[in-house]
């Protein structure tokens, strides 16, 4: 069996689509930070689709890894001529494979920061895009302020420092372009953050303010940061996926990516140096992304949080197991209908009921095998960004909050670190220590978990929230996850 490479492409089975374009003709137009599963299943796929249609060959992607852990990606990318297999898993169990060729280079910042900076400073680079996770933006959950105390950021700000963070690297490249009389590139965030472009603008310019007087102001006036809504459920690649690619498609790929077949990308039109003709690849280019972002983050992502802790505690390990269970599906739909939907903005032309039904279908796709472990990870970066805004808005408007409060309680219960069978839970979170310490006091002090103002602000002093949260937490302790969801679904636990 051939290892995936340029030379192997011509001998691959016909069941696997391969790039129909001349990859040697591609030049880099996009530098992308955070080449993980999602970028490879989404943005790189859209660019590849354009290239297959004979377009965007001047928009090749140079990937960048900033963290030491990205060395593994660098090794694989280099050994496969930057090619990889994307396998879409349809709900009927069929699979569709395609070799993606739009990434043409990969640089590891810890190994060669200068090369990363110069790649962004090169005239051909017109977009720097990001999927660096919610935590990568380095802002305080409650104040929204840039965290200048972060040690890596502080090190980058030392005079004469060689930058190591995305903030240091991107800012240095912008400074060099300015010195060389080149217009700045567009910074395009593709992370699951409400107002991701606006947040990126605030964080990068806050860093620049600290780096040199006037630099932040210049960036505010000159650099575009379009907002976007991105969607495609992309689980972590497993050994089984590697074996499946070999068996189904006859190629040895050290790091394929698998995803659901659904895709969506809604992008704000703000690209002073141009962009690939994304609309030709199915991207919705609009003037205002916010209503779409709210819909996706509060319905899809917050529902992921609504299923992962309850589901895990109830003994499930995969998203489809939870969502194929009618009780949990009902709970999620009720959360969406009664709590999230009233906080959304008008979306002319979008059938929200169909969108929600489709979400349950997507979550229930058993072939995607999205793990609850992936959805439970880094919750401290997710709950405050997706779910707490729903709670705050409903509290202010006198709206319904019982299911959202119960989801927060399920996180608190999960973080105690033992499931309902007494088995240990591996809590993966950059705040694991303080979170688990707080959760360990849940029984003696039911407000312990939500009394972390850096995550919850003043919610622990809101009587309505506290009542709903403590009732759900007590039920979780006394009767378990399933019984808690049952009670909520039946209109119990104080629900409206
Ligand atoms: N996986 C999905 O289903 C999905 C769907 C839509 C959007 N997203 C967005 O994409 C992000 C990444 O998801 P993924 O599935 O590719 O994850 P992943 O773990 O496969 O990749 C994450 C990438 O981000 C990089 N990264 C993490 N912290 C960073 C930091 N502080 N600075 C710079 N780089 C950093 C990592 O090095 C890695 O390259 C998500 O957090 C989300 O915002 C993911
Ligand atoms: O990747 P995160 O941390 O933003 O969130 C976990 C999931 O909710 C997310 O990856 C979804 O699968 C994705 O947003 C679907 O488009």
Among 223, 251, 286, the domain-final residue is: 286
pLDDT digits (tens, 9 = 90+) for 173-210: 999 999 999 999 999 999 999 999 999 999 999 999 99
Q: What is the mean pLDDT of residues 262-280?
A: 98
CA gap 26, 185 in Å, rounded: 19
Establish whether residue 70 lines the binding site of ligand 1, counting it when its CB lies within 6 angstroms of any ligand atom.
yes
Q: What is the DSSP string of 359-388?
A: HHHHHT-TTT--BHHHHHTTHHHHHHHHTH
Ligand 2 geometric centre to CA of 67 (Å): 20
Q: Is 156 in the pocket of ligand 1 (CB under 6 A)?
A: no
Domain count, the chain: 2
Clarify whether residues 277 and 325 are in a common domain: no
Ligand nearest to the CA of 377: 2
Decide if 494 is inside a domain.
no
pLDDT tens-place string over residues 32-62: 999 999 999 999 999 999 999 999 999 999 9
- Transcribe 1-63 into DSSP letters: -EESSTTTGGGS-TTEE---S-GGG--EEEEEE--SHHHHHTHHHHHHHHHHTT--TT-EEEE
- One domain, residues 160 and 228: yes
Q: Please check whether residues 282 and 384 belong to one and the same domain.
A: no
Is the domain of 203 the same as that of 146? Answer: yes
Q: What are 66-113's pLDDT values in tens digits?
A: 999 999 999 999 999 999 999 999 999 999 999 999 999 999 999 999
* pLDDT for residue 494 is more than 80: no
- With a 6 A CB cut-off, is 363 part of the ligand 1 pocket? no
Which value, to the nearest 10 degrees, does the dihedral of the CA atoms of residues 428, 376, 309, 373 take?
A: -90
Relative to the CA of 375, which ligand 2 atom is closest? 6
Answer whether residue 496 is part of any domain: no
In the listed set 286, 303, 327, which residue is the last one of a domain according to the structure?
Answer: 286
Average pLDDT over residues 127-153: 92
Residues recorded for the chain: 496
348 lies in the same domain as 408? yes
Question: Which atom of ligand 2 sits closest to the CA of residue 304?
Answer: 8
User: Of all atoms in ligand 2, which is nearest to the CA of residue 191?
Assistant: 4
Show the domain range for 451.
290-489
Residue 176: other Cβ atoms inside 10 A: 15
The CATH number given to whatever domain includes residue 347 is 1.10.1040.10
Please report the pLDDT score of residue 495 as a whole number: 60
Same-domain check for residues 167 and 311: no
Mean of pLDDT over the chain = 96
Give nearest CA residue, ligand 2 atom 16: 231
Q: Note the pLDDT tens digit of each residue in 429-448.
A: 999 999 999 999 999 999 99
Is 382's C-beta closer than 6 angstroms to any atom of ligand 2? yes
Instruction: Tell me, yes or no, whether 200 and 100 share the same domain.
Output: yes
Distance CA 33, CA 132 (A): 7
The burial of 419, by beta-carbon neighbours within 10 Å (0-12 exposed, 13-18 middle, 19 or more buried), is given as: middle
CATH number of the domain at 89, please. Answer: 3.40.50.720
Ligand 2 atom nearest to CA at 230:
16
Of 271, 286, 301, which one is at a domain's C-terminal end? 286
Q: How far apart are alpha carbons 143 and 133 in whole angstroms?
A: 19
Instruction: Give, using CA atoms, the residue closest to atom 8 of ligand 2.
Output: 301
DSSP string, 418-472: B-TTS-B-----TTHHHHHHHHTTTTT-TTTTT--HHHHTTGGG-HHHHHHHHHH
Confidence (pLDDT) at 71? 98
What atom of ligand 2 comes closest to residue 370's alpha carbon? 12
Is ligand 1 within 6 A of the CB of residue 35?
Answer: yes
Q: Is the pLDDT of residue 491 over 80?
A: no
Query: Which ligand is nearest the CA of 41, by number?
Result: 1
**Same domain, yes or no: 245 and 300:** no
Question: Would the pLDDT of 141 be above 80?
Answer: no
Residues 242 and 175 in one domain: yes
In a domain, 146, yes or no: yes
To the nearest 10°, report the CA torsion of 175, 179, 185, 189: 10
Burial 267-284 (b: 16+ CB within 10 A, else e): bbeebeeebbebeebebe
pLDDT-above-70 percentage for the chain? 99
Instruction: Encode pLDDT of 224-260 as tens digits.
Output: 999 999 999 999 999 999 999 999 999 999 999 999 9
**What is the pTM (predicted TM-score) of this model?**
0.97
The answer, yes or no, to whether any atom of ligand 1 lies below 6 A from the CB of 192, is yes
pLDDT at 144: 86
**Closest atom of ligand 2 to CA, residue 301:** 8
Residue 492 has pLDDT above 60, yes or no: no
pLDDT at 209: 98
69 and 149 co-located in one domain: yes
Pick the ligand that lies closest to the CA of residue 191.
1
Mean pLDDT score, 294-322:
98
The verdict on residue 434 lying in a domain is: yes
pLDDT digits 0-9 by tens, 358-400: 999 999 999 999 999 999 999 999 999 999 999 999 999 999 9
278 in the same domain as 302: no
Within this chain, do residues 226 and 132 fall inside the same structural domain, yes or no?
A: yes
């Amino acid at each position: 069996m051939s290892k995936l490479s340029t030379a192997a492409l011509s001998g691959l089975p016909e069941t696997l689509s391969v790039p129909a374009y001349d990859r040697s003709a591609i030049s880099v137009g996009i530098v992308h930070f955070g080449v993980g599963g999602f970028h490879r299943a989404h943005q790189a796929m859209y660019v590849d689709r354009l290239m297959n249609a004979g377009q965007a060959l001047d928009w090749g992607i140079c990937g960048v890894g900033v963290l030491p852990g990205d060395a593994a990606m660098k090794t694989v990318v280099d050994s496969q001529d930057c090619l990889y297999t994307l396998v879409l898993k349809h709900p009927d169990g069929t699979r569709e494979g395609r070799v993606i060729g739009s990434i043409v280079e990969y640089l590891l910042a810890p190994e060669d920061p200068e090369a990363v900076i110069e790649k962004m400073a090169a005239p051909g680079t017109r977009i720097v895009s990001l999927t660096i996770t919610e935590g990568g933006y380095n802002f305080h959950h409650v104040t929204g302020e840039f965290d200048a105390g972060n040690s890596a950021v502080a090190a980058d700000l030392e005079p004469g420092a060689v930058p190591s963070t995305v903030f240091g690297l991107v800012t240095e490249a912008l400074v060099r372009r300015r010195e060389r009389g080149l217009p700045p590139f567009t910074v395009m965030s593709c992370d699951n953050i409400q107002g991701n472009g606006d947040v990126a603008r605030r964080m990068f310019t806050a860093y620049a303010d600290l780096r040199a007087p006037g630099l932040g102001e210049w960036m505010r006036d000159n650099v575009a940061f379009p907002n976007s809504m991105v969607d495609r459920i992309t689980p972590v690649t497993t050994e089984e996926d590697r074996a499946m690619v070999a068996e189904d498609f006859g190629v040895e790929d050290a790091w394929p990516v698998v995803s659901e077949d659904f895709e969506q990308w809604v992008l704000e039109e703000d690209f002073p140096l141009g962009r690939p003709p994304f609309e030709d690849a199915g991207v919705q280019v609009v003037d205002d992304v916010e209503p779409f972002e709210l819909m996706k983050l509060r319905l899809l992502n917050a529902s992921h949080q609504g299923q992962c802790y309850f589901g895990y505690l109830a003994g499930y390990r995969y998203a489809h197991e939870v969502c194929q269970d009618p009780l949990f599906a009902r709970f999620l739909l009720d959360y969406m209908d009664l709590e999230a939907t009233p906080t959304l903005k008008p979306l002319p032309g979008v059938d929200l009921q169909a969108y929600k039904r489709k979400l349950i279908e997507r979550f229930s796709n058993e072939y995607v095998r999205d793990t609850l472990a992936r959805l439970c990870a880094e919750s401290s970066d997710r709950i405050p960004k997706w779910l707490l805004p729903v709670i705050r808005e409903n509290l202010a408007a006198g709206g319904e909050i019982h299911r959202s409060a119960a989801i927060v309680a399920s996180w608190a219960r999960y973080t105690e670190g033992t499931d309902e069978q007494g088995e240990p839970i591996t809590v993966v979170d950059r705040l694991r220590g303080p979170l688990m310490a707080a959760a360990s006091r849940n029984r003696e002090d039911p407000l312990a978990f939500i009394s972390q103002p850096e995550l919850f602000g003043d919610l622990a002093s809101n009587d309505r929230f506290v009542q709903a949260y403590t009732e759900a937490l007590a039920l979780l302790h006394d009767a378990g996850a399933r019984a808690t969801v049952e009670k909520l679904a039946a209109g119990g636990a104080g629900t409206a």
